[in-house]
Amino acid sequence: MKSLAELQAIKDKMKDKVVIREGSLTTRVVVGMATCGIAAGARPVLGAFVEAVNESGLAQSVTVSQTGCVGLCQYEPIVEVYEAGKEKVTYVKMTADKAKEVVEKHLKGGKVVVEYTVANCE
């Protein structure tokens, strides 16, 4: 170790990987992973979220986790986004591609992708 910059580089690289344990993340993406959700294809959706969140450098503020049955089985895979101080957004009939779009537009850009939300589905 010859400089502080080297240390900082390691720290930056590692921070994303341990921040998950601090419980300080502000945004939560929750994927419905009950039997219905998994049957409808929730696993690739979850994978796409985890990947996209990391790739867009959002790992310091967003956690991706799963939950049980949300209750709207015909709309699975369902994904809910909780942001501090904002109303929860529920996305339905998600796919891996839609997941990437949500990360890009909603989590990064701050604009809810209205056409995928439950409000637009009924």
Partner 1 sequence: MIRAHVLICGGTGCTSSGSKSIQQAFESNIAAAGLEEEVKLVQTGCFGLCALGPVVIVYPDGTFYSRVTTDDVKEIVEEHLLKGRPVERLIYSDTGEENVDITNVSLNDTTFYKSQNRVVLRNCGVIDPDNIDEYIAMDGYAALGKVLTEMKPEDVIQTVMDSGLRGRGGGGFPTGLKWKFCAPNKAAQKYVVCNADEGDPGAFMDRSVLEGDPHCIIEAMAIAGYAVGATKGYVYVRAEYPIAVARLQHAIDQANEYGLLGKDIFGSGFDFDLQIRLGAGAFVCGEETALMTSIEGNRGEPRPRPPFPAVKGLYNSPTVENNVETFANIPQIILKGADWFKSMGTEKSSGTKVFALGGKIEHTGLVEIPMGTTLRHIIEDIGGGIPNGKKFKAAQTGGPSGGCIPESLIDTEVDFDNLTAIGCMMGSGGLIVMDEDNCMVDMAKFFLEFTVDESCGKCTPCRVGTKRLLEMLDKITSGKANLEDIDKLEELCYYIKQNSLCGLGQTAPNPVLATLKFFRDEYIAHVVDKKCPAGVCKDLLTFVIDKDKCIGCGLCARNCPVGAINKTDYVAPGHKLPSYTIDTEKCIKCGVCIGNCKFKAINKA
Among residues 77, 76, 78, 46, the alpha carbon closest in space to that of 64 is found at 46
**Cα dist. 44→2, 4, 49 in Å?**
43, 40, 9
Out of 60, 61, 67, 95, point to the residue binding partner 1 (CB under 8 A): 67
d(CA 67, CA 80): 10
**Minimum gap (Å) between residue 75 Cβ and partner 1:** 17
**Minimum gap (Å) between residue 24 Cβ and partner 1:** 10
d(CA 42, CA 97): 12
Q: Are 31 and 46 in contact (CB under 8 A)?
A: yes
Q: Does 58 bind partner 1 (CB under 8 A)?
A: no
Out of 66, 93, 104, 108, point to the residue binding partner 1 (CB under 8 A): 66
In the complex, which residues of this chain contact partner 1 (CB under 8 A)? Answer: 1-4, 7, 10-11, 13-15, 17-18, 20-21, 23, 25, 28, 30-31, 33-35, 38, 46-47, 49-51, 53-54, 63-68
